[in-house]
Amino acid sequence: MNKKTIFLTILSAGLLISQTAKAVCPVCVVAVGAGFGFSRYLGVDDVVSSIWIGALLASLSIWTVVWMVKKGYGFKYDKIVVWASYYLLTLSPLYWTDLVGHPQNKIFGIDKIIFGAAVGTIVFLLAVRLHNHLKIKNGGKSYFNYQKVVVPLLSLILTSTIFYILLKWII
């Protein structure tokens, strides 16, 4: 697959899974960003670090679209424009600096950063859906304080841990 196809697949997955009406809290965005920074600081594999990139981009995209709609700035293709902008503005510089597209930085034939970002986006969006499902199941209330933050964060930590172990085991 070429890079455009991979990017469009990630973007499409985000658009299909996302929901406009349910915002992501700012604490989630900060937690995801901190997780990414911490994993890069520790020298963790690009797949694991990129899981946090994807989650951060998804949370920022959802947050921005919800904010735009609340402020009356929403428009017909606002989701597509916001999602595409965040992903392009983040992944393009990585491509231009040869961090994305390096022939020896692949997993399953896909660039590790692109793969990790796709996994992170999907896991984050599924975790947000899980939180919303649990909240609906409990009569509109969270089961515990900060459930909205804990469910996505634990999902990302679990996914990162699984990939970290698998990559250490494979290499």
Q: How far apart are the first and last CA of the chain?
A: 24
Query: Alpha-carbon distance 37 to 34, whole Å?
Result: 5
pLDDT at 22 over 60: no
Please report, rounded to a whole number, the percentage of residues in the chain having pLDDT higher than 90: 41
Segment 79-130, tens digit of pLDDT: 999 999 999 888 888 788 777 888 888 888 899 989 999 999 999 999 999 9
Instruction: Identify the pLDDT of residue 39.
Output: 66
Instruction: Identify the pLDDT of residue 21.
Output: 42
How confident is the model over 146-169, as a mean pLDDT? 91
Instruction: Identify the pLDDT of residue 20.
Output: 46
Instruction: Identify the pLDDT of residue 1.
Output: 58
Instruction: Identify the pLDDT of residue 99.
Output: 75
Query: Alpha-carbon distance 30 to 53, whole Å?
Result: 12
pLDDT at 4 over 70: no
Query: Position of tokens 């172990």?
Result: 165
Specify the DSSP element, H or E, that contains 153: helix 147-170
pLDDT at 159 over 50: yes
Band of pLDDT at residue 29, cut at 50, 70 and 90: low
How confident is the model over 157-167, as a mean pLDDT? 91
CA angle at residue 125 from 26 to 60, to 5 degrees? 35
Query: Alpha-carbon distance 50 to 156, whole Å?
Result: 11
Tell me whether residue 168 is exposed, middle or buried, using C-beta atoms within 10 angstroms of its C-beta: 0 to 12, 13 to 18, 19 or more.
exposed
Task: Report which of residues 118 and 148 the model is more confident about.
Answer: 118
pTM of the model: 0.74
